[in-house]
Amino acid sequence: MVHRRRPHEPLIGVAPHRVGFHPERFRLACFALLAGGIALGSALAWRLSRSGAFTLLFVTLFSYHAYLSDLYFNSGAIYDLLCFLFYFGALFWYAGIRRALRSPTWPETAGIALLALLAMTSKQMAVTLPSPRRSSGRAG
């Protein structure tokens, strides 16, 4: 049976249908997204700081923060997990471009914009992600 997306469902809302309605598989998928988010966050911390101590501190605080316990136990947090992955994926990509002291090319801008769009369809808080063209430091 093919799941058809209803107009009120977010684009990423079909993820639970891909792993089935089995709670244990869904929770495993959530934990995989969470592990991926921690890895991506630590890679971004390393890319921005180039400090092992800072990256370790970031991962420790990020992984064991008391207010993030909903991500571990609440199945409704799937949208937060997806938004984080796409949001930080865009930031990680953009930070690598800027670390090379250059502006993003049009294909890179399109890729970052696609990640931003996926993040926004997961959760609307991703609208805070700045546009790569607006923050590149050049006019136009």
pLDDT tens-digit series, residues 14-73: 555 555 567 788 888 889 999 999 999 999 999 999 999 999 999 998 888 777 788 888
134 falls within a domain:
no
Segment 97-129, tens digit of pLDDT: 999 999 999 999 999 999 999 999 999 888 888
Question: Does a structural domain hold residue 93?
Answer: yes
Task: Look up the domain containing 110 and give its range.
Answer: 11-128
- In the prediction, which pLDDT does 17 show? 57
Distant-in-sequence, close-in-space partners of 31: CB < 8 Å, separation ≥ 6: 72
In a domain, 91, yes or no: yes
Residue 1: strand, helix, or coil: coil
Q: Is residue 135 part of a domain?
A: no
More confident residue, 69 or 13: 69
pTM: 0.77
Q: What is the pLDDT of residue 112?
A: 94
138 in any annotated domain: no
Report which residue type is found at 47.
R
Q: Tokens representing 59?
A: 């991962």
Q: Within a domain: residue 1? A: no
Token pair listed for 115: 């990640």
In a domain, 58, yes or no: yes
Region of 101 (left: φ > 0; alpha: ψ -120 to 50; beta: rest) is left
For the chain, what is the domain count?
1
In-domain check, residue 49: yes
